[in-house]
Amino acid sequence: MLIASTWWQAALAAVLIPIMPPDVVERSSRSGADVRALVALGPRVTGTSAAEQAAAYLTAQYREAGYTTEVQTFTYPKFEDLGSSLSAAGERLTGRALSGSLAASPTALLVAVPGVGQPADFEKASVKGAIVVVRRGQIPFLAKARNATAAGAVGLVIVNSEPGELYGTLGGEVAIPVLALSGKRGSPLLVNSEQAPTRAGLVVDTRKRTITGRNVIAHLPGISRPDVLLGAHYDSVPDAPGANDNASGTAVVLELARRLAGTTLADRVWFVAFDGEEDGLQGSRDFVNRAESAWVKGLKGMLNFDMVGINDKLLVGGSSPLVAVAQAADSTVSPFRDNGLSDHRSFTAQGVPALFFYRGQDPNYHKPGDTSVNPKLLEATTEVGLEVVRRLVATSQQDALAQPLVRSKRMLAGGALFSHHQVLLPGQSWNAGCSTPTWSWLQQPCAGA
């Protein structure tokens, strides 16, 4: 930073200080305000009223920016641990029920089984009617649980062989309660109960609920076949206000919609605020599954923004051609090896090229401290996103010009006339049923009709 040493330098500095032009300041504060508004609702856990209020906020913002919106609801079962533990020798050890475990609270002899829970391991100990303890590793949790059940055990405790708590899923139904303990808490059991079996009380208190999620979809009226889909999840985990994860990405996609509105690019883009991401990409998967496959395949790219409000370096992952587009759009972005742990995965699974915008690890990730972001980073991310959209649409327009059949159709949508260009691929024909500019369109068979 420059330090002014004379009056004229001070005067010059006073003129130069607003480094960002006023419109940029306004835009970044607009994204910052979106993040604050979402954070103020509290943790936006899918299915809660905070999440519902977030969907209403986003709907209102997209409408204000001139877009048609639709809230797409979906349901899924959610396994919840209400507090599970093992009590033995006057000590209560808290653990985590493995997802899919039976909810039950047996009291029985605690028996340590040598090994990792192979059928042969259970033959080495008398486990009929007992709660058994095994070490994590080598075979799946489900196999351990099924082997324990087959040997007559009434409960299973799996001790983590890696540092920290063990959060896991069985990946199938079992007939006994299954608890995971950290290595620190559980390891003494593997030794002690082998030497002198004691009685123990296992409490696995869980429930399975049907959760309703809400994807907020926005596009201009009459735009039914976008080239590009911009998405970000707005849900968060319990106890975390989710400023960076992921009000940040949600605000960037919303700001991109505002910036694109009024440009011809807005005719080529859909915007989606996904719900249920933290419960396993539920919202994006539902979106893709419901859409007609030709519609999904027509996408030139899905741009996903997740955790883009902390850390200076903007990382891009996903499909190599799109990573190259992002690098050409801004040479300061860095490619990274993306493991597909966000909503773009639902799209790449269907063959849609995807680009993932991310700014790396956050010390407050999934913690109550995830309360604020740097608005300048949101603005910087928006700028790169905008340039990538420009480039993708330009490429797609070149492709469209190469198509032999392009028909123009004027249609009535949302009370106004819009000029709509439908690119017809060989084997397709115009279908009026496909022109309804609402989500329900996607549920109607259109391709080749």
Judged by beta carbon, residue 267 or residue 343, the one nearer Zn ion is 343
Q: How far apart are CA 147 and CA 123, in angstroms?
A: 10
In the three-class reduction of DSSP (H, G, I as helix; E, B as strand; rest coil), residue 423 is classed as strand
Q: How far is the CB of 432 from Zn ion (least distance, A)?
A: 39
Tokens of 273: 């605020």
Residues that bind Zn ion (CB under 5 A): 245-246, 306
Q: How far is the CB of 306 from Zn ion (least distance, A)?
A: 4
Tokens of 448: 């080749």
Q: Please check whether residue 343 is in contact with residue 379, taking contact to mean a CB–CB distance below 8 angstroms.
A: no
| Strand-pair partners of 316 | 335, 357
Max CA distance (Å), the chain = 89
Judged by beta carbon, residue 248 or residue 319, the one nearer Zn ion is 248
Judged by beta carbon, residue 34 or residue 245, the one nearer Zn ion is 245
| Rg, Å, the chain Cα set | 27
Residues 6+ positions from 223 with CB-CB distance below 8 Å: 266, 267, 268, 269, 270, 420, 437
Judged by beta carbon, residue 221 or residue 283, the one nearer Zn ion is 283
Q: How far is the CB of 235 from Zn ion (least distance, A)?
A: 8
Judged by beta carbon, residue 362 or residue 379, the one nearer Zn ion is 362
Q: How far is CA 393 from CA 49, 162, 271, 317, in A?
A: 37, 47, 15, 20
Judged by beta carbon, residue 341 or residue 432, the one nearer Zn ion is 341
Q: How far is the CB of 342 from Zn ion (least distance, A)?
A: 6
Q: How far is the CB of 236 from Zn ion (least distance, A)?
A: 8
Q: Name the DSSP letter for residue 388.
A: H
Helices (H), 138-272: 141-150, 183-195, 248-260
The total number of residues written for the chain in this structure: 449
Q: Please check whether residue 44 is in contact with residue 245, taking contact to mean a CB–CB distance below 8 angstroms.
A: no
Q: How far is the CB of 346 from Zn ion (least distance, A)?
A: 13
Q: How far is the CB of 366 from Zn ion (least distance, A)?
A: 9
Q: How far is the CB of 59 from Zn ion (least distance, A)?
A: 21
Judged by beta carbon, residue 245 or residue 370, the one nearer Zn ion is 245
Judged by beta carbon, residue 181 or residue 237, the one nearer Zn ion is 237
Judged by beta carbon, residue 306 or residue 379, the one nearer Zn ion is 306
Q: Name the DSSP letter for residue 169.
A: B
269 dihedral zone (left: phi>0; alpha: psi -120 to 50; beta)? beta
Q: Please check whether residue 148 is in contact with residue 156, taking contact to mean a CB–CB distance below 8 angstroms.
A: yes
Judged by beta carbon, residue 44 or residue 258, the one nearer Zn ion is 44
DSSP states along 334-368: EE------STHHHHHTTT--EEEEE----TTTTST
Q: How far is the CB of 326 from Zn ion (least distance, A)?
A: 19
Q: Please check whether residue 95 is in contact with residue 157, taking contact to mean a CB–CB distance below 8 angstroms.
A: yes
Judged by beta carbon, residue 255 or residue 362, the one nearer Zn ion is 362
Q: Which residue type occupies 152?
A: G
Q: How many CB atoms lie within 10 A of CB 270?
A: 21
Q: Which residue type occupies 420?
A: H
Q: How far is the CB of 369 from Zn ion (least distance, A)?
A: 15
Q: How far is the CB of 361 from Zn ion (least distance, A)?
A: 12
Exposure b/e, 325-358, CB count within 10 A at least 16 = b: bbbebbeebeeeebebebbbbbbbebebbbbbbb
- The distance of Cα 25 from the centroid of its chain, to the nearest Å, equals 29
